[in-house]
Amino acid sequence: MTLTWLAEPGNRTVWSLVQRDGAVATLTRLLRGDLPDGGLRAGVLAKAATLDPRRLADLTLRRAERLGARIVVPSDEEWPARVESLATLSLDAPRQVDRDVRPPLCFWVRGPWPLGEALERSVAVVGARAASGYGTHVTTEIAYGLAAHGWTVVSGGAYGIDSAAHRAAMAAGGRTVAVLACGVDRPYPVGNSAMFEQIAESGLLISEWPPGSEPLKHRFLIRNRVIAAATAGTVLVEAAARSGAIQTMGRVLALRRPAMVVPGPVTSAMSVGCHELLRERPDATLVTGLAQVLETVGRIGEYPADPPRGPEHRRDALDDESALLLEAVPRRGTATPEELAAKAGLDLRTVLRRLSLLELTGLVERRGDGVTLARKR
């Protein structure tokens, strides 16, 4: 936790040193300023000069204990193994925040569930803060259905799509996990404070930053890699042309996880990012509802889905001659078998046989010497 305070999570240099030398030796090296990266060295020494890191760790643990939060590290049984896939992620990006995508060194957790268990069978649902009514509706249906089928719904706790996903999962009596870009004791946005308390009671609030940490802008971009890596797949419901949710989907695709995108109205600015992603990335999957999401993330054959079909009619099962004869029956009035034979181009014997069949199926009725369409019941 001291290393995460001295350098932002995901830092490539710090993570590599921990893997090679261990956390204790890495901390000692950082505090000596023994780093090849001048920017990282300056930042670490500046923070260490304001407060002894070990003293900070002690104070933070006491604060977390009062809060009811715990720290989870890679050696703990509840560590979510799926996040370790970030160790293989290599992105060629101009910004440091887009290159430092290594696995977390720890998580702060509030809530009753073991972290690994909650994330083992999970799907992320992300999207625009300024969600439309359409986006909120689709999100609610997907998240509610996922929770009802035993999947944990993961999102970022923001307004819009995130909030709709969390609330729908809780309404279904399921689990939801909010991955925060600040301390688990600092609800952000503040307007979602009541929702965060509900999540802490029935799901999990998790963060890489210690309690008391502020929700700085760049931390949301750092946080997004965890949403992408910790889940079995991610659903993007709405996103503008420039959106943090699009960055999350970039991480999902780079990790070769299912990246599911919900299309929207072509006139909606909130669906521009979704449509561009579908156009530019053939490995993104278009989904239009819960059934397709479950089919994508579930085991083969776990959620069989019938292809979409229109309403079925009794006439759909008719053979060609019967269908042709039915078309010849007038919409009003009656027609004799001879008249029907002439209109349908069939011989009289075939017409008489097919009329019996159509009568049995309830599609035609006999009236005197003629035949008419059956009245709708």
- Please write the tens of the pLDDT for every residue from 308-356: 666 667 777 888 888 899 999 998 889 998 888 999 899 989 989 988 8
Contact 177, 142 (CB under 8 A): no
Please tell me the predicted confidence (pLDDT) of residue 94. Answer: 74
DSSP string of 223-256? HHHHHHHHSS-EEE----SS-HHHHHHHHHHHTT
- Please write the tens of the pLDDT for every residue from 1-32: 899 999 999 999 999 999 999 999 999 999 99
In the chain, the amino acid numbered 352 is L
Q: How confident is the model at residue 54 (pLDDT cuts 50, 70, 90)?
A: confident
Question: Looking at the predicted structure, is the pLDDT value of residue 357 above 60?
Answer: yes
Q: Residue range 271-277: average pLDDT?
A: 96
Q: How confident is the model at residue 361 (pLDDT cuts 50, 70, 90)?
A: confident
Contact 67, 184 (CB under 8 A): yes
CA distances from 24 to 27, 74, 81, 91, 279 (A): 5, 14, 22, 28, 47
Q: Which of 5-9, 95-99, 140-144, 146-150 has the lowest mean pLDDT?
A: 95-99
Q: In 10 A of CB 317, how many CB atoms?
A: 10
Please tell me the predicted confidence (pLDDT) of residue 183. Answer: 95
CA distances from 199 to 7, 72, 183, 203, 312 (A): 28, 18, 15, 5, 44
Average pLDDT score over the chain: 92
The pTM of this model reads 0.84
State whether CATH 3.40.50.150 applies to domain 68-297: no
Contact 168, 147 (CB under 8 A): yes
**CATH C-level class of 314-373:** mainly alpha
Question: Looking at the predicted structure, is the pLDDT value of residue 377 above 70?
Answer: no
Domain ranges of the chain: 1-53, 68-297, 314-373
Q: What is the largest CA-CA distance in the chain?
A: 106
Alpha helices, DSSP H, located in the chain? 2-6, 12-21, 23-32, 38-50, 53-67, 96-99, 115-120, 133-148, 161-171, 193-202, 217-230, 244-254, 272-280, 290-297, 320-328, 337-344, 348-360
Checking phi first, is residue 109 left (phi over 0); if not, alpha (psi -120 to 50) or beta? Answer: beta
Q: Which of 213-217, 251-255, 298-302, 322-326 has the lowest mean pLDDT?
A: 298-302
Q: How confident is the model at residue 374 (pLDDT cuts 50, 70, 90)?
A: confident
- Please write the tens of the pLDDT for every residue from 101-135: 999 999 999 999 999 999 999 999 999 999 999 99
